[in-house]
Amino acid sequence: MSDVQDVLAIDAEAIRSTASEGFGITGTGFVPKSFARLLTEKLATARLLFGDDVDLASGSVLRKVLELAALEDARLWAAVGSVYDDGYVVSARGAALSRLGEDLGIARPHEPARGHVTLKLKAKLPAGRDRLTLTRGARLSTAGGHHVALDETVVLTAAAPERTPAVVAFHPGPSHNLSPAAPNQKIDRFNRADAALMELEAAEQEAGEELVDIVHTEPLTGGELQWPDARYRALLLRAPRSLWTVAAVEQAVALVAGVRQVQVFDGRGGLDITQSIYGNFNFIERLFNAERDLGNPYYFSVLVAPTPAAIWEGPDGLKAAVETALDDLRPIGIYAAVERAEEVGVSVDAKLVVRGLPLPTGSRDAVNASPAARELRMRLYARLRAYVDQLAVGEPVRSSEVVWAIMNEPGIADVRDVHLVRHPAEVSSLDLSVTPTGSSLQRLGCGENVELQSSEIPAFVDMDDPRPFEIV
């Protein structure tokens, strides 16, 4: 037997004895060999080649040489595994994932820039008003036409006339890293076309003057950052591989600034179970839908859930932007009926047991009014908003998920009496026989979920006054 045949025979015996066939390219992907596996194979090969009495103790020279060789081989296997993984969207990371996205024609999107501004009451509130509320999503702007939105709800009162809320740019990208020192980039005005500013408009009309000053001193940052791998990968996996499909429509709309979620419905493309006649007729006698009239245009429905900062109507509104995005996709004679999902506000009322946080001593009211307690509430708002924002259209807000999100905040030892609050209440729960008074909020029972219709989507309401979380 030749030397080559000897080596091949020894290699085959080492593979058999160490059970190393399941590595490399397999049916489930690339499986690299670990350092321990490689060292085991090299030790087995050395024993086959030199005999069982060869010195392979931890202090032997041959053992050290084999360990160094195994370490280099492990690095090589890891590098080959990375090259293999970087060829697929499901496993690629970093720049490799960006290159795959560019091949699909979908560049990695940018994050919106973020920062802070200061809002100050510069005049007394009109009679009958003890506070002025600016909700999360209220739009601000610059002289240069840049759009920014409040990233948290702000309540201004005579006792607290100044707040410094977080703001987020409406359009992503480095162009909205707004600096107050740059020309036309200072955030200094409210966008009067935003319906979220109706309370401010009404208060200023009553007072006969402007009430709130916007002070912008620090630049917004983060617009140069791009989507993380997990979010970008989910976008690429949903990407259509043809032009005119439901997936193509959903992706085109999802990338429009101001769109939170989108669903596409085609009544004539299948069974329409939302029609009133569904389930109430004999299949032999009637059809689910009337046949298409070739003389009339064909419409499909696009249900859009906007972000809090989006303005729906108007030539620069979200509806017009969505229709423009679909113009290049739809075939001739087929049109999109863009509809807005109905937003249902959801807030949380609960009692918290806190342990290990630097809260002040004193009465319960003093503890709950402290800056440390407010910072805790802000962190809880962020957690709950992240949960609610990822819910699909029609998906309920579950009390159990809310408790789980709260309990994941460090320092929370227990949460009690959790009640979800719906804004507004369900129509079926309102008593229409009496004149409505006060708020239309519906405080659900402990542990009850907020159930939604197929065209409704939840939106978290960060109510800081009255206080939703009470530390006990």
Neighbour count for residue 385 (Cβ, 10 Å): 19
C-beta of residue 260 within 8 angstroms of C-beta of residue 250 = no
The per-residue DSSP string of 81-120 comes to HHHHHTTSTTT--HHHHHHHHHHTT-PPPBPPPEEE-EEE
**φ and ψ at 212, to 5 degrees?**
-125, 130
Q: Domain of 265: which CATH number?
A: 3.30.300
End-to-end alpha-carbon separation of the chain, Å? 84
Single residue among 291, 311, 340 that ends a domain in this structure = 340
Q: How many structural domains is the chain composed of?
A: 4
169, part of any domain? yes
Question: What is the rounded CA–CA span in Å between residue 323 and residue 451?
Answer: 30
* φ/ψ of residue 401, rounded to 5: -70, -35
Domain-located, residue 225: no
Query: Are both 151 and 202 inside the same structural domain?
Result: yes
What is the rounded CA–CA span in Å between residue 217 and residue 458? 34
Closest by CA position to 233, among listed 83, 98, 386 = 98
> At 83, which amino acid appears?
V
Positive or negative: CA dihedral 42, 44, 47, 49: negative
Q: Give the pairing of strands 118-121 and 166-169.
A: unpaired
Number of Cβ within 10 Å of residue 369's Cβ equals: 13
Note down pLDDT in tens along the chain; length 472 residues.
455 566 566 566 656 655 556 677 777 677 888 888 888 888 888 888 888 888 888 888 888 999 899 899 889 988 888 888 888 888 888 999 999 898 888 899 999 999 999 999 988 888 888 889 999 999 999 999 899 999 998 999 988 899 999 999 999 999 999 999 999 999 999 998 888 898 999 999 998 888 999 999 999 999 999 999 999 998 888 777 666 677 788 888 988 999 999 988 875 444 444 455 555 555 455 444 555 455 556 778 899 999 988 999 888 899 999 999 888 777 767 778 899 999 999 999 899 998 888 888 888 888 888 888 888 888 999 999 999 988 988 899 999 999 999 999 998 999 998 999 898 755 444 444 444 444 567 888 888 999 998 889 999 988 765 567 788 7
* Together in a domain, 185 and 250: no
Q: Is residue 221 part of a domain?
A: no
Same domain? 118 vs 187 = yes
As a whole number of Å, the CA-based R_g of the chain is 31
